[in-house]
Amino acid sequence: MEQGSAREGARPAYAPGAFPRTPAEGWIPEGRVPEQARGEQARGEHTHSEPPAPRVVQRHSVRGQILDALRAALVDGELVPGQVYSAPALGARFGVSATPVREAMQRLAVEGAVEVVPNRGFRVSERGPRELAELAEVRALIEVPVMLSLARTVPAHRWSVLRPLAEATVTAAAVGDRAAYAESDRAFHRAVLTLSGNEQLVAVADELHRRSQWPLVSNPATRRADLLADASEHTALLDALIAQDLNVVQALVREHFTGAEG
């Protein structure tokens, strides 16, 4: 359960796809930064001969926009596990200074998505199957009993209100937009768990969910078929919750966490 809708036409600089994967596509390798960022680059780095034209980001809540863009790039695999990225180089692609990029990256470091590399930038964390399995186990320990409890007590009409959220994950999966799917997936799970009335549980579960969406180093791109299978479990889960079929609820949630994206 994790990704969303293909975008038509030109994309803003901070949308998924703003991180070219090869030098031919305009990717700025680590250690090579535009001239305007030279003052902030790490010692010994070379400059790119043709820096990309500045791209403007709305000035309000710049850090928040950059953080969202970096998270989307992580999910999409545009920020490659094991690769080091400098704040000045990424800032040049967004048309902003290195400061909001560095602040956003520091937040991602707290979340475990990247690690600080002194005097160079930030390395995208490399995850293996074991970490993903551990996250799935912890999520199941939290969410399965909560959903079983909700299935016994929440009336059918309240579950029906969540139907558009479940359908949004299917729409996102159908076009293979992993970043949008990740957002719609978390929105659905948050809405379900919010019915428990436990805000701390919702916050903890959402953070675990986000961590489970980062791609494995060995499999950075999730296939559209896997996303569709994952998304279909949302609508099936709603049907089971409405019917108060506890066995199906438990089976679907556990399968959901151990599937392609969790």
Residue 65 CA, chain-centre distance (Å), reads 14
- The whole-number pLDDT of residue 219 equals 53
CB 237 within 8 A of CB 143: no
CB 249 within 8 A of CB 140: no
Q: What's the whole-model pTM score?
A: 0.69
Q: Tell me the sheet residues that pair with 123.
A: 84, 115
Select the highest-mean-pLDDT range: 90-99, 140-149, 220-229. 140-149
pLDDT surpassing 60 at residue 34 = no
Instruction: Read off the tokens for 14.
Output: 């901070």
Which is more confidently placed, 11 or 114? 114
Q: Could you tell me if residue 152 is left (phi over 0), alpha (psi between -120 and 50 degrees) or otherwise beta?
A: alpha
- Average pLDDT, whole number, for the chain? 78
User: If pLDDT is split at 50, 70 and 90, which confidence band does 189 have?
Assistant: very high
pLDDT surpassing 50 at residue 262 = no
What counts of helices (H) and strands (E) characterise the chain?
10, 5
Q: Which of 16-20, 158-162, 210-214 has the lowest mean pLDDT?
A: 16-20
User: If pLDDT is split at 50, 70 and 90, which confidence band does 132 have?
Assistant: confident
Instruction: Read off the tokens for 82.
Output: 């094991």
Tell me how far apart the alpha carbons of residues 193 and 188 are, in angstroms, rounded to a whole number. Answer: 9
Select the highest-mean-pLDDT range: 34-43, 196-205, 207-216. 196-205
